[in-house]
Amino acid sequence: MDIKTPLRQFVLTELVYCDDINNFGDTEDLLEAGMDSMGIMRLIMFAEREFKVTLPDTEVEPDSVRSINALVGWIEEHKK
């Protein structure tokens, strides 16, 4: 199942703003781009619902949510 496409769509239309979605890199810093603590929780709920995973609150660390690629890695870790 493709995780990155729906995740990118959700993050870049709901949680952070960028002038051109297509130009936002998968390694760009989401926290620098403005993702706040409420956004992080919203993201976790989205991932749990869409990808049928459980993402423990205790694992919410900068390294897990820093970029689209980091998020994909974190979700895939819990899909195993």
- Give whichever of 34 and 69 is closer to other proteins, judged by the CB atom: 34
Cβ(34)–Cβ(17) under 8 Å? yes
Query: How far is CA 78 from each of CA 19, 24, 35, rounded to the nearest angstrom?
Result: 32, 25, 22
Rounded CA separation 6/10 (Å): 6
At its nearest, how many Å lie between other proteins and the CB of residue 43? 9
- Give whichever of 23 and 58 is closer to other proteins, judged by the CB atom: 58
Binding residues for other proteins, rule: CB under 8 A, are: 13-17, 19, 33-42, 44-45, 57-58, 60-62, 65
At its nearest, how many Å lie between other proteins and the CB of residue 31? 9
